[in-house]
Structure 1
């Protein structure tokens, strides 16, 4: 049993089931991120934990106590909303301590907690201001302060950074990470931003169409995606997914793909077990992350299975620290990540280095991973 347990949780509106048998066990102090596209059910699941949505089937427990029928105010959870939900006529200090006042906390204790939280979030100079006088980032800190002052068992964050501009979002992401490292509290955090999910979480639940597609650490999700949805959703730029045929190449197995000119190219796999041999002469999808498709100088020095393929460059995109290079493999545009100073130009043939240790193979029918990066 975990600190927060979601057991076979189902949510239905009439005959329409929107969440299907969700099973997640969250340990104390974990930072779980629920990530997925709009409408995948992540906010519905968060609202079920909060008590804002009922549980149709299954149970949700905190510290071994089933909370399905417990009123939201009695669950000892604190929620930070996307909209901040601050009272415009109250000062920052009053907004932060309002919940404590409603629960009958004595004033000296309220003021002590307010001082601690304001110092932690560096908003002690804002306590007498109204929300309308604050920037978006400051309002977000106030909303977090209101949650922190409660000292809850679980913090719930519902896309808290989506209203902020790009730079502020990165800054606040760092602040939330620091806060978690300092407080070591249990957090469940909803976002559609996979960069947020990768950088903040200790574990990620990738969701789509009401199902948990994969639950794992950021490294597991990124390196070993369970299926084509996870492979394409997680990562920026996303994983290259190339149609291929598995063929025998001596004692080894290779993925045969087509290059820019339609001619076959062979890439030997690092795997050679029976699972992969069952797919000999069959169509598969070869998954290669952009950083595993690069130039010779940018390739991983520790890789055991580096291979070179010559193919034409179609587009180059300098991006500061990297250059992204597009080439056509298997009839699809594929992105390679290279060093900023890589000598590569559109229209030229180029020797791409492929790190096949990092290749992942998917079954195109089931869309599940069949080999790679265990």
Structure 2
């Protein structure tokens, strides 16, 4: 068993099942992020771990102890909410110490713990202020400080950065990552932001429609998506997904892709499991924007860079990169080019495709083929 085990857990409200049978094992010290769109079941699962919501079927174990019927206050977990949940009439110091006071921790020990977490989170100068005098980022640090004083088995974060502006979110992501590296505690973190998931986690659980779609490291989920939902959800810009056909070629299997003018391009697709028996099969080809670029910007370490000329539709400068859009398989396809690319809208241009990074999906089941 792991440090925290979610074993065949489901959740229903009446006849509506909002979380299908879910199995996740979390090791001690892991940073697991539950990510997915609104309504996918991630917050429901977090609330069941916390004990705020009951389990319909299945079991949850912490340190091999079944906690289904254990009260939230007795689970030794600490939760940081999206809304901070601070007491407005208390000072920062009062908010951090409140839980310890309720558990009868002696004042000297409380003061020592407050000083320790205030120093760790760099909020020592704020201890005598009230929440209304703090910025959003400072309030989030106070909420984290209150959780840290618990010395819990598991930290639970429920979309803690969603109320912050873009720059502050980036800063707080860094602070949370530093905190995890310093303390080595087990964290379960819920977000709908896939960039947060990729940058913070040691493993990601991608959820959709109440189902666990994929569980793996950030690199595994990004490079080898299990299905079209994961491919399209993870990454910014998201993976290009467009129709293609497997074709048998004297040099091996290729994917044939239609262009806007009705002509076709063929790109080699040499993978284990892709045999001549797939000749003529319709697929959805997936390839990330960074694997479509100008020839000079292509990955020099890849042995599978193939070039094809196609029409440039739109250019979007983005500082260090330029996003270049073309039309393939009846879909808009985005490539990530160098900042000073020579590509121009309305002109033909040579695109370089890194086919090592391409994946194929079944158009009907949307599951990964190769």
- Flag whether TM exceeds 0.5 (same fold): yes
Indicate if the aligned counterparts of 1:276 and 1:370 stay in contact, CA closer than 8 A. no
Stretch of structure 1 that moved more, 336-345 or 214-223: 336-345
Report 1:325-336 matches (<5 A).
325-336=324-335
Confirm or deny that 1:97 pairs with 2:97.
yes
Measure the CA separation in 2 of the matches of 1:302 and 1:161.
Answer: 37
Number of the residue aligned with 2:109: 109
Q: How far 1:275 sits from its partner (Å)? A: 4.6
Unmatched segments (≥5 aa) in structure 1: none
Report 1:231-246 matches (<5 A).
231-246=231-246
Number of the residue aligned with 1:119: 119
1:59-93 alpha-carbon deviations (Å, 9 max, x no partner)? 00100000000000000000000000000000000
Indicate if the aligned counterparts of 2:317 and 2:339 stay in contact, CA closer than 8 A. yes
SS, match of residue 244 in structure 1: strand
Indicate if the aligned counterparts of 2:253 and 2:274 stay in contact, CA closer than 8 A. no
Number of the residue aligned with 2:210: 210
Measure the CA separation in 1 of the matches of 2:282 and 2:258.
Answer: 13
Number of the residue aligned with 2:336: 337
Number of aligned residues: 370
Indicate if the aligned counterparts of 2:92 and 2:129 stay in contact, CA closer than 8 A. yes
Report 1:85-234 matches (<5 A).
85-234=85-234
Measure the CA separation in 2 of the matches of 1:202 and 1:146.
Answer: 24
Measure the CA separation in 2 of the matches of 1:316 and 1:299.
Answer: 18
Detail structure 1 runs of 4+ shifted over 3 Å in the superposition: 273-278
Q: How far 1:274 sits from its partner (Å)? A: 4.0
Confirm or deny that 1:46 pairs with 2:60.
no
Measure the CA separation in 2 of the matches of 1:298 and 1:4.
Answer: 44
Number of the residue aligned with 1:291: 290
Unmatched segments (≥5 aa) in structure 2: none
Q: How far 1:279 sits from its partner (Å)? A: 2.4
1:201-231 alpha-carbon deviations (Å, 9 max, x no partner)? 0000000000000000000000000000000
Measure the CA separation in 1 of the matches of 2:135 and 2:279.
Answer: 59
SS, match of residue 340 in structure 2: coil
RMSD value over aligned CA atoms? 0.8
Confirm or deny that 1:279 pairs with 2:278.
yes
Number of the residue aligned with 2:321: 322
Indicate if the aligned counterparts of 1:270 and 1:305 stay in contact, CA closer than 8 A. no
SS, match of residue 104 in structure 1: coil
Number of the residue aligned with 1:22: 22
Measure the CA separation in 1 of the matches of 2:276 and 2:76.
Answer: 53
Measure the CA separation in 2 of the matches of 1:329 and 1:164.
Answer: 38
Measure the CA separation in 1 of the matches of 2:186 and 2:166.
Answer: 26
Measure the CA separation in 2 of the matches of 1:87 and 1:141.
Answer: 14
Q: How far 1:278 sits from its partner (Å)? A: 3.8
